[in-house]
Amino acid sequence: MSQFDGSNSDRGGQRPESSTPRLICIGDPSLAPATHDSLDVVPVRSASEAFDELECGDVVGIWIARDQLPQIGEVRGIAQSGAMLRDMPEGVALLDADMRVLWANRRLLKWAGRDEQTPMGMNFYALLGEPEIMGPDFCPFHTALAIADESNSTLHTADNRYFQVHAAPIHYPDATKQLIVTVGDITDEIMQQQKLAAIHQAGRELADIRPAEIFMMEVDERIELLKDNIRHYLSDLLNYEFIEIRLLEHATGNLMPLLSVGIDQEAADRKLLAHPQGNGITGYVAATGVSYICADVVNDPLFIPGVQGSRSSLTVPLILHDQVLGTLNVESPEPHAFGDTDLQFLEIFARDIALALNTLELLVAQKANTAQQSCDAIHSAVAMPVDEILNDAVNLMEDYIGHGGEMADRLRRILQNTRDIKRTIQQIGQKMTPLEAVPAGSRSPQDEVLRGQRVLVVDADEKVREDAHQLLERYGCIVETASKGDEAVLMVRGLGSGESYDVVISDIQLPDYSGYQLMLRLGERMDRVPMILMQGFGYDPGHSIVKARQNGLHPKGVLYKPFRLDQLIDVVRTILLANQPELAEGCSDAAPDPAKKQQNETSGAS
């Protein structure tokens, strides 16, 4: 009989098998029953060693000495631990140094598609169908054994599942190496991350237009491209079948339809306002800027049907810089179809849509600004040459008055065509920069009274004439200039039947005669001369202003150089209203004078 010295105790399964049945004794073997004479008694120190010995098939029983009975708790603990490992919700396996599975719990076997009778000893990766190792450690088991520390990695199986594996080494006194491996199913987490990344990528591509595309595409084409991209990603990426996007018109509060997929036409055409009551969930979300999940339309008083048979909906605002641009609504025929994850994904994508819409608006505004600047530059470049042509043409007409009518008619056509050039440039500019494409604060400050009024500016200073074009034409005036009095008289004489200048602005001292004398000469051609005289402070040779006022010059019809833009506009406006009272009916006295915003701009030489 072996003595209780532990000399025969080794790792379970390592003792050579004998023909004599063995009895495992925990405690002093001399106290064991007499039947042990026919048995090979194997003394061990603990229940753990006893379980190791059970791996050999010749063990007939375990005897526990009375003084070792407290160790029964250890036996119970081992049994309970085994049951816990077997039934825990994560996978657990014991591997040897060659990555062969010595034991696996039910969860891991279920994930591997194996039953509990699967023979152990197969390679761990083979058990899971040779999954792809995603990292960060591409040899987690070898690493754990090599560095005697924990290691982890992610596995991707052929059926598109993801598992997180964690390996921890076990070292025995006899240098045997094994691994405890825990396995967690992280498929939902990985799929959510991938979907989130796809949403971010889709958001970046929504308005990803190359410079060449911007150059070639019209505004409507860009909008259609954006709508197609939104429709594609919402349907194919987020798997939404019923979609509606509306844009908020801030001036009116209307929610204008931009895109609808699967929505009933009557519902898509329905007028909705950004108001929390009476305008459905869409109106509520637009008014509050807060997302809304309608779990069951039957019990939601805000819901207005958009799809026949709809049972639930999710609506989020399109927000940029804390401003609501519109709404994005999706619906489902199933109740409770949308949860927190759907809300998170749709809110992220809604921010990308809002950014794409803003980018599109910026592109349109930039195109309008560029077109406006181009037209202004062209008009500025031709304004003075056109005036020179007009002056030359009216001078030539003087030579042919009373002579051949054909030449005079040709000169009149030249005058008309020359004036048409300027009007055409302005009209093209207005077509290329429609008001809806230009931000309200950037629109040309045209005045209801000044728009379309014809102004003649007479001054020897070319800079004054150029400034007159630049300053007055931005308010909608039609400006023509002359450098001296005789040219001005001929310009008035050369007007067609029924045409006249609505305002004449003249310097008080012209190269040929005074502003007052010009006023008298124009009075021979005009029933009433809408005159404005310009002078430097304290400079009025011949008392032109005094004489002009005595002959009908409006009390406010004087500008002192250098004058501010708002002063110029105010005086022109006053003269127009004095001579055309009907203009007052079309303008609002409460409307702010746009020139007040530009008081620092000046014109005229001192």
- 143-193 pLDDT per residue, tens: 998 888 999 999 999 888 999 999 999 877 766 788 999 999 988 888 778
| Residue-wise pLDDT tens digits, 403-418 | 556 777 777 777 777 7
Pull the structure tokens for residue 479. Answer: 């400006």
Cβ neighbors of 508 (< 8 A, separation 6 or more) are 514, 515, 516, 533, 534, 535, 539, 540, 541, 544, 545
Architecture of domain 445-584: 3-Layer(aba) Sandwich (3.40)
pLDDT, the chain, mean: 78
* Amino acid making up residue 35: T
Distances (CA, A) of 256 to 281, 315, 325, 347: 15, 16, 11, 20
Mean of the pLDDT values across residues 278-289? 93
d(CA 574, CA 568): 10
Which pLDDT does position 216 carry in this prediction?
A: 61
Return the SS3 of 242: strand
CATH fold label, 88-188: Beta-Lactamase (3.30.450)
Q: Judging by beta carbons within 10 Å of its beta carbon (0-12, 13-18, 19+), is residue 303 exposed, middle or buried?
A: buried
Instruction: For Cα atoms 292, 298, 301, give the angle at the middle one, nearest 5 degrees.
Output: 55
pLDDT band of residue 2 (cuts 50, 70, 90) is very low
**pTM of the entire predicted model:** 0.48
Say which amino acid occupies 68. Q
The residue-averaged pLDDT of 78-99 equals 77
Closest CA to 236 of 160, 349, 159: 349
Interatomic CA distance for residues 74 and 62, integer angstroms: 14
Q: Which residue has the higher pLDDT, 114 or 402?
A: 114
Amino acid of residue 85: L
State mean pLDDT over 219-242.
77
pLDDT digits (tens, 9 = 90+) for 483-513: 999 999 988 888 877 788 999 999 998 999 8
**Using 50, 70 and 90 to split pLDDT, how confident is the model at 424?**
confident
The reply to whether 88-188 and 193-367 are identical in fold is yes
Please write the tens of the pLDDT for every residue from 331-382: 999 999 998 888 988 888 888 888 877 776 655 555 566 666 666 676 667 7
Rounded Cα–Cα distance for residues 325 and 226 (Å): 15
Query: Which helix (H) or strand (E) covers residue 66, if one does?
Result: none
Q: What is the mean pLDDT of residues 295-309?
A: 85
188-195: Cβ within 8 A, 24+ apart: 189/162, 190/154, 190/162, 191/162, 192/341, 195/237, 195/345
**Is residue 273 packed enough to be buried (19+ CB in 10 Å), middle (13-18) or exposed (0-12)?**
middle
Alpha carbon distances (Å) from 183 to 87, 119, 157, 161: 13, 19, 13, 12
List, for residues 350-362, the tens digit of each pLDDT value.
888 888 777 766 5
Distance separating alpha carbons of residues 155 and 133, to the nearest angstrom: 5
Domain boundaries, given as residue ranges, for the chain: 22-83, 88-188, 193-367, 445-584
pLDDT in the model for residue 589: 45
Q: To which CATH superfamily is domain 193-367 assigned?
A: GAF domain (3.30.450.40)
Contact 168, 158 (CB under 8 A): no
Instruction: Give percent above pLDDT 70 in the chain.
Output: 74
Q: Which of 141-155, 161-175, 225-239, 388-402 has the highest mean pLDDT?
A: 141-155
What count of other Cβ atoms lies within 10 Å of the Cβ of residue 239? Answer: 9
CA 584 to chain centre: 45
Residue 556 CB: number of other CB atoms within 10 A?
13
Q: Identify the band that residue 82 occupies on the pLDDT scale cut at 50, 70 and 90.
A: low
Please tell me which residue, 17 or 590, carries the higher pLDDT value.
Answer: 17
Answer whether residue 556 shows pLDDT above 80: yes
Q: Is the pLDDT of residue 6 over 80?
A: no
Banded model confidence at residue 62, pLDDT cuts 50, 70, 90: confident
What is the per-residue pLDDT for 264?
84
User: Can you name the residues that pair with 321 across neighbouring β-strands?
Assistant: none
Q: Output the pLDDT for position 56.
A: 65
CA 413 to chain CA centroid, nearest Å: 54
With CA atoms as reference, report the closest residue to 213 among 369, 373, 359.
359
